[in-house]
Structure 1
Amino acid sequence: MLLFDLTAFSGVLPRRSKRMLAPEQAQVAENCRLLSGKLESWLDSGNGVTLPLAGAIQTVYLYKNLYWFHWNTDVDTVRSPIANNTNTRTYFTGDGVPKMTDDTIALSSAPYPANSVILGIPTPTIVPTVAEIQRTNYANTSDDLTGGAESIDLTSGGAGNYTLSVAGTAAVTVAATGTTVGTGFGQATEGNPITFNLTTANTISLTLNTGTLDTNANGEYIKQVEPGTSVTPFIESPGSGATLSVAPSDPNNSESRVYVYTWVRRWNGFDEESQPSDPSSIITVTPGTDAVTITFPTSGPTGNYYPSGSTFLKRLYRTQSGSSGTSYQFVGEIDVATATLVDSLLAESLGESLITTGWDPAPDDMKGLVEMPNGILVGFRENEIIPSVAYQPHAYPQAFRQSVTDNIVGIKVFGQSAVITTVREPRLMSGVSPDSLSLEKIELQQACSNKLSMVDMGTYVMYASPDGLVAIGPGIARVVTEDFFKEKEWRALKPSSIRGYYVDGRYVGFYDTGTVKGGFVFDPGTGSASFSFLTDYYEAGYNDTETDKLYLLSDHNLLEWEGGTTLMTKRWKSGVDIEDRPTNPAIAQVIGEQDATNPVTFKIWAKYALTNGAAETVNLVHTEVATDSEPFRLPGDYLATDFEVEVQCVNSVDEILVGETAEDLKRG
């Protein structure tokens, strides 16, 4: 009679009594690679590097497939979703305030990243000041001055305020003919226009006092000098001197406007713009006649906002009314150290509308950064969810933020959605726009015991709860290990210590109970061959999806999962085989790949009384070190009904047989 004929091997089922296990189920399964039905070993981890950062390392991240970022804190990293990210800009939270880096500053020295800067751009706090500059346009009348007195007939121009501007080395005087010129007449020089009042339409006299105003302008009339060259526009006529122009202010053409400005960090091909300052005071000007000088602070925000090679700018916007309401439109930009900018633009020359209103920087205590589809980054603090503007990873508007009832533990993205775990129950977040992300409460009272246990499994997220591993996704929200563990057995692993990783559809976790460190492999897709333990322990790790590799950290040594060349020693112990009558198995056989270098150690236990009248106990009755697959004899000095077997080896095992006779093994 055969007691054991084991041709399939699966994992442990701690929830079930060892007397109730199916033949293929185990009460011990350590370092067992249960993928093919046979009993195999995992390769050890290897092919490693040593990380230089002092102290306990909690986070590792592979940068550009070559450099290892690592920190002493729990850090979440996201590569920029913006196109043309040639410098591999990367954002991260958990190392103080939210930060970013790229290969121009991160790789100057180890440990990496060598340098980083604050992620967000703060809001300017100083309001810009504004002042009006009046000037002349091309007028209804003009005259050439070559010396002496000239007259200009302003009958067609009518009464009103006039500004006279000149250029060059000349000085021009307005002279009155009678009492038609009121206050403000006098002498105009370059940069110093005069404004005078013509009480009635009349002819005025202009006198060139000194110098000449002769400039050859390549045959073209210059109707306006742009701000920065002169604030006083004029007209020149080639050859004979200057044609001076005067024009009245038109009160019917005036407009009121306000100005705001933003800060812009320009770095390696990307602009990051803050939300605008508070608006300036209202100023009323005549478009085309008047200009406005805007004065700003000459320094940017205080703090670590200035990476090497970056430029900090100020962008100016002003109000503009249209059919769809009033908006701010772009006027110009200047270096942060420049104090003033002169705005002489007409409405049709304004640029794009301001879009950064409400673009708050990331809060200093934001953590848990992840990337959702459509260029949305999401972090959290306490019970608040904090999305970014799409494809603007530096901006996290207050208007986009949502809160949940309980403090958030972590966020993990899968597909088009994200699972948000809390200290009570999870939420499912989905959506394509950051201002309209939807939250669905999952009716499953399962808190997340450790943010680092959360793993993207492809179509769902898995995490450790106090009761077991939980899976959340479309059509699934349950404790998926409830058939394997009771609460007592699961909590013995200390779920708050579990760190999880994805390996080929399996959840690989590592735990530290305070007295025991180890790991486990949970395969949700293989039925009873689902859970086995690992004797190795690693304190941090990184899944590189690009190369489909898992890297694990032991002290400061970073190793590749199954990257070594040595098979791990596995141990597999069966459940209890219960026979109908007392028996004494006489022979056993382990069919596998063992040899003299790598033998298999076979053990068999039986439950019987060691002496007459004594209670029955489970006793190890034989240990065999087998170097081949030939049968071997078992001792024959006892009778029992309950038997257990175990193998320990590195090479694979195909079958374990235990029988009463040699003929039994042949029939097996």
Structure 2
Amino acid sequence: MTIMYPGGFLGERPLLDPRLLPEKSAQVSRNIYRRRGTLKPERKPAHVSDVPQVFRPANLFRYTPGDGAASFWLSWRRGLDVDVARSPIANDQYERVYWTGDGPPKMGGIDVITQGDGPYPSSWYQLGVPAPEQAPEVREPNNRTPPDDGSVDWPPATTVETAYVVTCVSSYGEESAPSMPSPLVERWDDASDLPEGGHVIVTLPPMPSSSNNIQAMRIYRTESGGMYQYVADVAAGTGTFEDDVSSAELGIALPSAEWDMPDPKMKGLTTLPNGILAGFFGNTVAFCEAYYPHAWPVSYQLAFDDPVVGLASTSAGLVVLTTGQPSLVTGSSPAAISQMKLDVYQSCVSKRSIVEMGGYALYASPDGLVAVGGQQAEVVTKEVFSRDQWKALDPSSIHAYRYDGRYMAFHTNGCMSFTPGEGIDRYDVNAEGGYYDSERDTLYLLQNGAVTAWGAGNPFSILWRSPITNYPSGRATLTCGRIVAHGYPVKLRIYADGETVMDQAITGPDMFRLPAGYTLAREWEVEVAGNNEVVSIQLAGSPGELH
């Protein structure tokens, strides 16, 4: 008779009775890194940085400028739910970053958000550029008078009816939607055979009162009902502009006719392919104009039956999680997107539990973790947790991160990792927030007001307990054992029918003897603990059966 665990260890499946667990699954798997197939101690988080002057920080982002300069930690206090996106603009000279969840949507370049000694972001601008609240006014110039001698036709044959709109422009070159149009006014190009006074005096509307860093106003003109075309930029605060730009000198057509401000309640900022950002408010998901993250046309909004809880960008599209059914939004352009409900009735109970896992997303529902991949969705922990066991974790408290192929979930009662098909592992760690830095392949945590890096500290102490192995009474003729490990000692505990048979520190790879007197025991369990990596656990009836 033997009990052999030659590697390939699996995690916990609390749903199953310990007698019915698969051979390599665990009753207890704590503080273990199992990717090597062994029972290797995971390493504790280690201190990386303090977060100065932020009261109880719980949101974290590492801001790294593109020129190789030093990184900055951006953090926000507990009680906020902040989502951060880097600029979708290639080689953004301002190195902008965007975020939601701290009041109205915000943004800033490196020169703005890293002013002073912290905390960061130290300053910001509201995302978007507001349109002027009033239309421009127009009037004819004072020298526009019909000639007394009738030497030319009046008005000149080249006269056109024009109207004007004005946009606001930020220091980043971001442009607002246009103002309301001015009244119509006649104008004509200057020419030697035409009377003077063909130009127009444009009175600009007041500047919007905002925190959007508006630096200029941009003037557009339409002629005889055509498109609005660029006339000129004028400095913010300019009162009037004398338009003597000829028709042939007009510039590009107005691009920002629908470039609305994002809704001030928008949150859940998410990066999509093709230069698109997405966010949500209420039951509405909004999209920015591609590569114009300040512009959020109302026509690019989608409504859902239930309030939106969060978003996840996957290779199949944007997963929209609600208080009802999840949906999938697909399309390469925000002007041509479609939505489809997924056939699973699992609401999302924690926005911070949503994690993109590479081709699919995981999130916490009332019944367990749900995986959404393509047009399919299912509860992937239904063979791991019962509903009551899942509820005991307080899933509404989960904040989770993708790291090393694992779903790392922190909750009220601690921390666990989940890998589909392998069960769960638990860790003696608590954290208020975190951030996975894909550039450094590092999971950073917020712990007690400081930033720590997962796996950068000393080894944890592991604890792994086997399933219950059942033998007929009188057949349990176990007499010896061997622990193969990368270091010793390894604490070994053996239980028979719930009674401790052995509790001993194994100090090397040599065979050891088991106490006699337990041949009638039916139910056997093995447990190892310590700070050393265990490769295999072997119990046998004779030394020749050991490897």
TM-score (normalised: structure 1): 0.76
**Which residue does 1:152 correspond to in 2?**
none
**Which residue does 1:317 correspond to in 2?**
220
Runs of 5+ consecutive residues of structure 2 not aligned to the other structure = 65-69, 191-195
- The answer to whether structure 1 residue 578 and structure 2 residue 494 are counterparts is no
**Which residue does 1:340 correspond to in 2?**
240
Contact 2:83 2:269 (8 Å CA) reproduced: yes
Q: Which amino acid aligns with 2:149?
A: L
Q: How does 1:108-507 map to 2 (within 5 A)?
A: 108-109=115-116, 110-133=118-141, 161-162=146-147, 197-198=148-149, 249-266=154-171, 270-288=172-190, 289=196, 290-297=198-205, 299-306=206-213, 312-321=215-224, 326-415=226-315, 417-474=317-374, 476-507=376-407
**Which residue does 1:537 correspond to in 2?**
430
Render the CA deviation track for 1:280-329: whole Å, top value 9, x for unaligned.
112123443411101124x52213222xxxx61111111124xxx62111
**Cα distance change of structure 1 residues 585 and 280 upon mapping to structure 2, 3 Å threshold:** same
**Which residue does 1:210 correspond to in 2?**
none
Q: Report the Cα distance in structure 2 between the residues aligned to 1:405 and 1:258, rounded to whole angstroms.
A: 42
Q: Report the Cα distance in structure 1 between the residues aligned to 2:403 and 2:309, rounded to whole angstroms.
A: 23
Contact 2:342 2:375 (8 Å CA) reproduced: no
- The answer to whether structure 1 residue 88 and structure 2 residue 73 are counterparts is no
**Which residue does 2:532 correspond to in 1?**
651
**Which residue does 1:34 correspond to in 2?**
34
**Cα distance change of structure 1 residues 435 and 7 upon mapping to structure 2, 3 Å threshold:** closer
Q: Report the Cα distance in structure 2 between the residues aligned to 1:7 and 1:295, rounded to whole angstroms.
A: 80
Q: Report the Cα distance in structure 1 between the residues aligned to 2:94 and 2:219, rounded to whole angstroms.
A: 29
**Which residue does 1:602 correspond to in 2?**
492
Contact 1:416 1:430 (8 Å CA) reproduced: yes
Render the CA deviation track for 1:160-184: whole Å, top value 9, x for unaligned.
932xxxxxxxxxxxxxxxxxxxxxx
**Which residue does 1:173 correspond to in 2?**
none
> How far did 1:642 drift?
0.9
**Cα distance change of structure 1 residues 667 and 378 upon mapping to structure 2, 3 Å threshold:** closer
Render the CA deviation track for 1:115-140: whole Å, top value 9, x for unaligned.
1011111121122111112658xxxx
Q: Report the Cα distance in structure 2 between the residues aligned to 1:368 and 1:360, rounded to whole angstroms.
A: 18
> How far did 1:71 drift?
0.3
Determine helix, strand or coil for the equivalent of 1:488. helix
Determine helix, strand or coil for the equivalent of 1:326. coil
CA RMSD of the aligned region, Å? 2.0
Contact 1:541 1:550 (8 Å CA) reproduced: yes
Determine helix, strand or coil for the equivalent of 1:452. helix
> How far did 1:47 drift?
4.7
Q: Report the Cα distance in structure 2 between the residues aligned to 1:416 and 1:341, rounded to whole angstroms.
A: 50
Contact 2:308 2:320 (8 Å CA) reproduced: yes
Render the CA deviation track for 1:492-549: whole Å, top value 9, x for unaligned.
111111111111222111111xxxx32112122xx3x332111212221111111211
> How far did 1:365 drift?
0.7
**Cα distance change of structure 1 residues 278 and 592 upon mapping to structure 2, 3 Å threshold:** same
> How far did 1:385 drift?
0.7
Structure 1 stretch 440-449 or stretch 277-286: which is displaced more?
A: 277-286
- How many pairs align? 531
Determine helix, strand or coil for the equivalent of 2:378. strand
> How far did 1:46 drift?
1.6
Contact 1:571 1:649 (8 Å CA) reproduced: yes
Q: Please, which of 82, 107, 132 is the counterpart of residue 75 of structure 1?
A: 82
TM-score (normalised: structure 2): 0.92
Determine helix, strand or coil for the equivalent of 1:348. helix
Determine helix, strand or coil for the equivalent of 1:327. coil
Contact 1:412 1:461 (8 Å CA) reproduced: yes
Contact 2:200 2:243 (8 Å CA) reproduced: yes
Q: How does 1:498-647 map to 2 (within 5 A)?
A: 498-512=398-412, 517-524=413-420, 527=421, 529-564=422-457, 566-582=458-474, 583=476, 585-595=478-488, 599-607=489-497, 618-638=498-518, 639-647=520-528
> How far did 1:36 drift?
2.5
Q: Report the Cα distance in structure 1 between the residues aligned to 2:22 and 2:133, rounded to whole angstroms.
A: 71
> How far did 1:55 drift?
2.1
> How far did 1:372 drift?
1.1
**Cα distance change of structure 1 residues 3 and 629 upon mapping to structure 2, 3 Å threshold:** same
> How far did 1:419 drift?
0.8
Q: Which amino acid aligns with 1:433?
A: S
> How far did 1:54 drift?
3.2
Determine helix, strand or coil for the equivalent of 1:491. helix
Contact 1:105 1:115 (8 Å CA) reproduced: yes
Q: Which amino acid aligns with 1:313?
A: A
Contact 2:352 2:399 (8 Å CA) reproduced: yes
Q: Report the Cα distance in structure 2 between the residues aligned to 1:280 and 1:649, rounded to whole angstroms.
A: 79
Contact 1:606 1:620 (8 Å CA) reproduced: yes
Contact 2:436 2:442 (8 Å CA) reproduced: yes
**Cα distance change of structure 1 residues 282 and 466 upon mapping to structure 2, 3 Å threshold:** same
Q: Which amino acid aligns with 1:119?
A: L
> How far did 1:7 drift?
4.0
> How far did 1:40 drift?
1.2
Q: Report the Cα distance in structure 1 between the residues aligned to 2:6 and 2:493, rounded to whole angstroms.
A: 14
Q: Which amino acid aligns with 1:14?
A: P
The structure that has the greater radius of gyration is 1
**Which residue does 1:242 correspond to in 2?**
none
**Which residue does 1:211 correspond to in 2?**
none
Q: Which amino acid aligns with 1:442?
A: L
Contact 1:584 1:640 (8 Å CA) reproduced: no
Contact 1:14 1:485 (8 Å CA) reproduced: yes
Runs of 5+ consecutive residues of structure 1 not aligned to the other structure = 137-159, 163-196, 202-246, 608-617
> How far did 1:250 drift?
3.7
- The answer to whether structure 1 residue 2 and structure 2 residue 7 are counterparts is no
Determine helix, strand or coil for the equivalent of 2:177. coil
Render the CA deviation track for 1:251-299: whole Å, top value 9, x for unaligned.
5432222111111112xxx3111111111112123443411101124x5
Q: Report the Cα distance in structure 1 between the residues aligned to 2:104 and 2:7, rounded to whole angstroms.
A: 56
> How far did 1:415 drift?
2.7
> How far did 1:25 drift?
1.3
Render the CA deviation track for 1:316-343: whole Å, top value 9, x for unaligned.
111124xxx6211111121122111111
